[in-house]
Structure 1
Amino acid sequence: MLAGLAGAFVAATFALIVAEPYVDAAIAFEARHAAHAGGVELVSRATQKTLGLYTAMMLYGTALGGLLAIVVAACHGRVGAIPPRALAVLLAALACVVLVLAPALKYPPTPPAVGLHETVRLRTGAFLGMLAGSLLAALAGAWAAQRLGAVLTRLDRWLAGGLVYLAAVALVAALLPHVDEVPADFPASLLWQYRVAAIAGQMIFWLVTAELFGRLAQPLLAPRVSR
């Protein structure tokens, strides 16, 4: 959990420096075009992108750091002779694919001024459905790889598990509703830069958390060598 807290701090700092300027630019675009521009802010932007950003990210990171530790402990010794540090980084890389990239391909991150207020519930539910579907598809791929262990080599069965994941996640994406609410006059470069920064921030969180956790867990989980 401490590793997740540290990873979230690094990711929040990255977001503050890299992603928040794009959010400010999107808010400025919305203020110029929205009919309700000029309304009173319930929470100031200065608070949102400092205290609010760090509070939310660090709570999120602490929880996911604990979950990463549980998954590493469950997999340690059961997926081959992989050292704890390497296992943590491998699982973090898988989390980047399953929990970040796959949902973002169907429902990419969007800054303010993109998306209608009337469809917030639909978009939130669809994104959570894609996230859950990607996680279940990954579990199905892992199960398939394990079941094929008796007839295929290790590489072949993990390739087969990867194909099962891709097929299942593609099916989930096809069944979920399509959402495209980007205004025609919204700057394409701003949208692209925000999405890259948002995804990069998530990857930074996972990799920093896994690396720090792996370094701390390695001496505890690795077998001790007798003199």
Structure 2
Amino acid sequence: MNSATVRTLLVRGMLAGVVAGLFALVTASFLGEPHVDAAIAFEEAHAHSHEGGEEVVSRGMQATAGLATAVLVYGVAIGGIASLVFSYALGRTGRFGPRATAMLLSGAAFVCVYLVPFLKYPANPPSVGDPESLDKRTALYFLMVLLSVLLAVAATILGRRLAPRLGNWYATVTAVLGFAAAVGIAYAFLPSVSELPEHFPALLLWRFRVSTLAVQLVLWTAFGLTFAHLAERALRPRTARDGGVGEDAKDGEQREAEQGAAPSSTAPAAN
């Protein structure tokens, strides 16, 4: 794949990321923000002391412009990265076309980048928890993301190497089981972090975490569908156009040959 095609896919991936970010923004606004407000209200109601500092960014700004900026920037970033991965993976992961490759990549990214780390270190509502453990929790979360991605790459390589001996189906099953086993070992050895207040409502916590999961699911699904369509249009028309030019060239050469041969065959008859 040449650099011009990669650049085209990069632009379309970022555009798909914007579209996915808009869908995720709507989902977060309707599902996530009410639970964030409830968590903040709980924290304020049970706080024993309040600092008298002025609020730097208002809650209204955080829930509107702040949320939109964060989600859209995140969408553009993951769109650009995913498009580069797509450019490398296309044709190397089996006989999948652009649309199927984009959807498989989107699903794998959702599982590896978000779902696997989320199951070990689920999201907590803002302003709830111990601020002193924030750095530790953040470091552990990104460590889990890194491990998940590396294990997924290793599982893909394992599946490709086993395919000639076991067949595609059994090689894929073996690779997936190996990935799940390795993730389970990582879960067992990495420390857990619990920083919620003792009497925090379990239902509110559950709804908040489900809403964050829904936002990510909408984000990656929208990105996969949008980028699959854009990548298909970027790659397929050119292939068809190249083929069409070749056929037209052949037809033209044949017509020229026929037209050139006609005078030579009729010339003697005229004499």
Residue in 1 that maps onto 2:158: 144
**Matched residues in 1 for 2:66 and 2:49: separation?**
24
RMSD: 1.5
* The structure with more radius of gyration: 2
**Matched residues in 2 for 1:151 and 1:114: separation?**
52
Residue in 2 that maps onto 1:15: 28
The correspondence of residues 180-191 of structure 1 with structure 2, limited to 5 A, is 180-191=194-205
Match of 1:158 among 161, 167, 172: 172
Structure 2 unaligned runs (5+)?
A: 1-13, 248-271
Amino acid corresponding to residue 185 of structure 1 in structure 2: H
Residue in 2 that maps onto 1:205: 219
Q: 2:102·2:227 contact (CA, 8 Å) conserved in 1?
A: yes
Is 1:32 aligned with 2:38? no
Residue in 1 that maps onto 2:89: 75
Q: 1:140·1:164 contact (CA, 8 Å) conserved in 2?
A: no
Q: Deviations over 1:11-65 (max 9, x none)?
A: 0121011100000000000001123436432110101011001101111110110
**Matched residues in 2 for 1:37 and 1:22: separation?**
22
Task: Name whichever of 12-21 and 32-41 sits farther off.
Answer: 32-41
Task: Name whichever of 139-148 and 24-33 sits farther off.
Answer: 139-148
Amino acid corresponding to residue 199 of structure 2 in structure 1: D
3-state SS of paired residue (2:123)? coil
Deviation at 1:143, TM superposition (A): 1.2
Match of 2:123 among 106, 109, 112: 109
3-state SS of paired residue (2:25)? helix
Amino acid corresponding to residue 19 of structure 1 in structure 2: G
Deviation at 1:67, TM superposition (A): 1.1
Is 1:42 aligned with 2:52? no
Identity %: 41
Equivalenced residues, count? 227
Q: 1:30·1:37 contact (CA, 8 Å) conserved in 2?
A: no
Deviation at 1:113, TM superposition (A): 4.5
Is 1:93 aligned with 2:85? no
3-state SS of paired residue (1:151)? helix
Q: 1:29·1:113 contact (CA, 8 Å) conserved in 2?
A: no
Structure 1 unaligned runs (5+)?
A: none
3-state SS of paired residue (1:137)? helix
Change (3 A) 1:167 1:191: same
Provide TM-score, normalisation by structure 1. Answer: 0.95
Q: Deviations over 1:164-198 (max 9, x none)?
A: 21112112222211112222211111100000000
**Matched residues in 2 for 1:36 and 1:195: separation?**
27
Match of 2:146 among 132, 137, 140: 132
